[in-house]
Chain A
Amino acid sequence: EDQVTQSPEALRLQEGESSSLNCSYTVSGLRGLFWYRQDPGKGPEFLFTLYSAGEEKEKERLKATLTKKESFLHITAPKPEDSATYLCAVQARGGSEKLVFGKGTKLTVNP
C-alpha cells in the first residue's frame, strides 16, 4: 500500500529563519511526487512535481528535492505569507491518476 509520512506535523519559524519539511514515501513505482500548499478552508494549490531521484525544482523561496525514499521542501528566508499547510502526495505508476496524500506540515512564520 502506498504511504506518505510528513514531518514535522507543525513548524514555527521566525521570519527569515530557513528550514526544511520532510516527506517520506513508499510507493509501488513512483510516477511523480507532488507538493501543494493549502490555506485554511481552501483547496490545495499546486507547487511542484518531481519525477526522479536527484531532481530539484525552485519557486521563489521554496525548493523541492527528491531521493528514492523522501522529498524535502526547503524554505529559505520565509515570510509570514508563507504560513500555510504544505501537503506532499505521491502518484504511482499504473492506470490510476490518483494521489495519496500525507497529513501535511502546518507552517507558521512569525514576523
Chain B
Amino acid sequence: GAVVSQHPSWVICKSGTSVKIECRSLDFQATTMFWYRQFPKQSLMLMATSNEGSKATYEQGVEKDKFLINHASLTLSTLTVTSAHPEDSSFYICSATQGKGEKLFFGSGTQLSVL
C-alpha cells in the first residue's frame, strides 16, 4: 500500500519555541493532505486540510497563525507549531490521499511534548 512518512516521530521542546513536522507521500502524489491531532484516549480531530499550491482550510477553533501549514509540492506538507505551549502537547498525525474517493493513508504520527 501507499506509504506516508512523517518526521520526526517525537519531539520535546521548550515553551515559546517553534516546531516543524514534515509529512511526505513516498510513492504517490498527494493532492490533499490532512493534519489531525489526538489527545490520549480521544479520537483524531481534524485540524486542517491542505491542497498543493493553495492555502490550508482550518477547522473551527484551530488557530491558523499558530499552526502554519505549507503544502508546497504534491509529496510534502509541513505543520509548524509556532510559539508552542504545554497545552499544545499532543500526538499529531498527517494523512494523504491521491484524490477524491481514494484511500486515505496515515503517517506514523509525531508526539510533541512542550516543557
Tell me the smallest distance from the CB of B89 to a CB of chain A, in Å.
Answer: 14
- Contact (Cβ within 8 A) A99 B109: no
Identify the stretch in A11-19, A41-49, A59-67, A68-76 within 8 Å (CB) of chain B at 4 or more residues. A41-49
We find that the number of chain A residues with CB closer than 8 angstroms to chain B is 22
A87 at interface, CB cutoff 8 A: yes
Contact mask for chain B residues 32-53; partner A; CB cutoff 8 A; 1 contact, 0 none = 1010000001111110010000
Cβ contact within 8 Å between B104 and A34: yes
- A98 and B46 contact, CB distance less than 8 A: yes
A97 CB-CB contact with B under 8 Å: yes
Chain B proximity mask over A1-35: 1 for CB below 8 Å, otherwise 0 = 00010000000000000000000000000010010
B43, A104: Cβ atoms closer than 8 Å: yes
Q: A97-B32, A97-B49, A101-B44 are in contact. Are A46 and B100 (CB under 8 A)?
A: no
Instruction: Give chain A nearest CB distance to B95 CB in angstroms.
Output: 8
The one of A31, A45, A97, A100 in contact with B106, judged by C-beta atoms closer than 8 angstroms, is A45
Check if B108 is an interface residue, CB within 8 A of chain A: yes
16 A-B pairs with C-beta separation under 8 A? A31-B101, A34-B104, A36-B106, A41-B109, A43-B4, A43-B6, A43-B95, A43-B106, A43-B107, A43-B109, A89-B44, A96-B49, A100-B46, A101-B43, A103-B41, A103-B42
Would you list the 7 A-B pairs with minimal beta carbon distance, nearest first? A43-B106, A101-B43, A103-B43, A101-B44, A43-B109, A44-B106, A43-B108
